[in-house]
Structure 1
Amino acid sequence: MSKNTGVIILAGGRSRRMGIDKALLKFEKDGLTLLEMIVEAARPVASAGIVLVTNQPEKYEFLKPSLQVVVDNQPGGGPLAGLEAGIEALVAQQYLLLACDMPFVQTELLKALVEWEEEGKSRDALVPLNPEGLPEPLCAIYNARVLAVVKEYLGENRFKMSDFLASIVTRYVLSSELEQYDPALRSFLNLNTPADFERYKAVFSK
Structure 2
Amino acid sequence: MNCLVKSLRVCLLSGGESRRMGRDKALLPHQKGGVWLTAMIDQLMPLGLPVVVVSRHQVHADVLAHQSDLKFVLEPPPWNGPLQALNFVLSSGSDGAWLVLPVDMPRLTTVVFQQLIDAWRRHPNKVAVAHDGERLQPLLAIIPSGSPFRTSLSEQLSSGCYRWLDWLDRVPYESVVLPSRCLLNANQPKDLLALSE
TM-score range relative to shorter protein: 0.7 to 0.9
Structure 2 counterpart of 1:36, from 38, 45, 70: 38
The residue correspondences of 1:181-200 to structure 2 (distance < 5 A) are 182=179, 185-200=180-195
Residues 106 and 186, structure 1, Cα contact 8 Å, conserved in 2:
no
Please, which runs of 5 or more residues in structure 2 have no aligned partner? none
Answer yes or no: is the 8 Å Cα contact 1:77–1:154 preserved in 2.
Answer: no
Displacement of 1:190 after TM fit?
2.0
Asked whether the 8 Å contact 2:54–2:75 carries over to 1, the reply is: yes
**CA pair 98-56 structure 1, distance change in 2 beyond 3 A:** same
What letter is aligned with 2:151?
A
Q: Deviations over 1:116-169 (max 9, x none)?
A: 21221332x1112113x2111111110111222222222222211111000000
Q: Does 1:51 align with 2:46?
A: no
- What letter corresponds to residue 4 of structure 1 in structure 2? S
Q: How many residues align?
A: 190
**In the superposition, relative to structure 1, how do residues 112 and 187 fare at CA in structure 2: closer, same or farther (>3 Å)?**
same
**Corresponding residue of 1:172:** 175
1:5, 1:45 within 8 Å by CA — same for their partners in 2? no
Aligned twin of 1:134: 135
Counterpart pick for 1:94 among 76, 84, 97? 97
Please say if residues 51 and 89 of structure 1, whose CA atoms lie closer than 8 Å, have aligned partners that are also in contact.
no
Aligned mates of 1:169, 1:60 — CA distance in 2: 34
1:51–1:69 contact (8 Å) kept in structure 2: yes
Please give the TM-score of this superposition, normalised by the length of structure 1: 0.81
As a proportion of its length, which structure holds more strand?
Answer: 2
Task: Please give the alpha-carbon distance, in whole angstroms, between the structure 1 residues aligned to 2:72 and 2:132.
Answer: 29
Residue 11 of structure 1, aligned match among 10, 14, 17 = 14
Structure 1 residue runs without a partner (length 5+): none
Percentage identity across paired residues of the two chains: 28
